[in-house]
Homo-oligomer: A and B are copies of this chain.
């Protein structure tokens, strides 16, 4: 395996270890051309590779950050991750990726292990359930940025979508298009899941603000697999809303499943708008009007803040990034359908 060390290089080049070290750290200033060449030669000949671990031990920095997410399979996560990795690449940093599946136990284990591994910082999609641990991290002055969720009582940088704004954008659009009976589909309500909570609340708020009826049976917060069943039930009783707001890609898929099964026409039978600009939005028929999350910006902002923290104390801040409405055809103005 890796056997050749600085000492070997030094010996072959007939200099001391320190000189080699100097050379490696590009402190050429007081080094003779001759020595430099000899060292370069020795390194080349021995195929020497500095052991970064040893250096890290000395310098207390690993040039590695830990990114802890729920599930790398989620599109948003993947995109955020890509942005993080891109920025780290520019700084010669590496990224360790961990999936928690939103399980606090796994999260704790990962944080502990990465901490022990001396990573220089953390970007976390927090489960929100390890409050004590988060606090200890802050106390220890570990650079930390939360993404997607905040945690009550934890004063730390956080980068989130402006969920209120996202819902508002969608709702204003629907209302503008003349829809009055609007429903929502979401996974089950869970207070610590900030985006979900904020979106559901904003939905109610938007209806109230527009003086539109809030019908509880149209606010479907249900396990994803049961959503299309709930819609079926409404259809059977002829109680479907005119339009549906899907709060994320998963729920959108369920609505589309339902629509396909019942052979409904969008937007005639039911209009549709969703958060998350799914990749097939433009090729679906009709093309889907969506509210896109600025995933890359989120990743960039999070990384930027992390590097700022690593550079020195800064006071924690919360960033709300702006969503963008992408108008297509799935929520166009109603035709002359009655009701």
Nearest CB on B from A249, distance (A): 9
Residues of B within 8 A of A118 (CB): 2, 51-53
* Interface contact B49-A115, CB-CB below 8 Å: yes
Q: Which of B86, B99, B283 contacts A99 (CB 8 A)?
A: B86
Residues of B within 8 A of A53 (CB): 53, 56-57, 62, 117-118
Q: A56-B53, A257-B283, A285-B260 are in contact. Are A82 and B86 (CB under 8 A)?
A: no
A233 interface hit (Cβ, 8 Å): no
Nearest CB on B from A314, distance (A): 16
A38 interface hit (Cβ, 8 Å): no
A262 interface hit (Cβ, 8 Å): no
Question: Which of A26-34, A71-79, A181-189 is the contact stretch?
Answer: A71-79
Counting chain B CB atoms within 10 Å of each CB, the highest count among A50, A112, A282 belongs to A282
A56 vs B52: C-alpha distance when bound (angstroms): 11
Q: A72-B78, A86-B99, A136-B47 are in contact. Are A52 and B117 (CB under 8 A)?
A: yes
Residues of B within 8 A of A106 (CB): 89
Nearest CB on B from A123, distance (A): 13
Question: Which of A90-98, A196-204, A211-219, A317-325 is the contact stretch?
Answer: A90-98
A57 vs B89: C-alpha distance when bound (angstroms): 25
Residues of B within 8 A of A6 (CB): none
Residues of B within 8 A of A285 (CB): 260, 285
A42 interface hit (Cβ, 8 Å): no
* Interface contact B98-A96, CB-CB below 8 Å: no
A116 vs B118: C-alpha distance when bound (angstroms): 16
A140 vs B49: C-alpha distance when bound (angstroms): 12
* Interface contact A94-B113, CB-CB below 8 Å: yes
Nearest CB on B from A49, distance (A): 5
A52 vs B78: C-alpha distance when bound (angstroms): 28
A99 vs B60: C-alpha distance when bound (angstroms): 26
Residues of B within 8 A of A1 (CB): 60, 140-142
Residues of B within 8 A of A99 (CB): 82, 85-86, 89
Q: A85-B72, A98-B85, A278-B280 are in contact. Are A116 and B49 (CB under 8 A)?
A: yes
Residues 264-311 (chain A) with a chain B CB within 8 angstroms: 278-280, 282-285, 287
A56 (CB) vs chain B CBs: closest residue = B53
A113 vs B99: C-alpha distance when bound (angstroms): 24
A202 vs B136: C-alpha distance when bound (angstroms): 58
Using CB atoms and an 8 Å cutoff, list the residues of chain A in contact with chain B: 1-2, 47, 49-54, 56-57, 60, 62, 64, 71-73, 78-79, 81-82, 85-86, 89, 92, 94-99, 106, 112-118, 136, 140-142, 253, 256-257, 260, 278-280, 282-285, 287
A-B contact list, 8 entries, CB within 8 Å: A1-B142, A2-B118, A49-B112, A51-B57, A54-B57, A85-B99, A253-B280, A260-B283
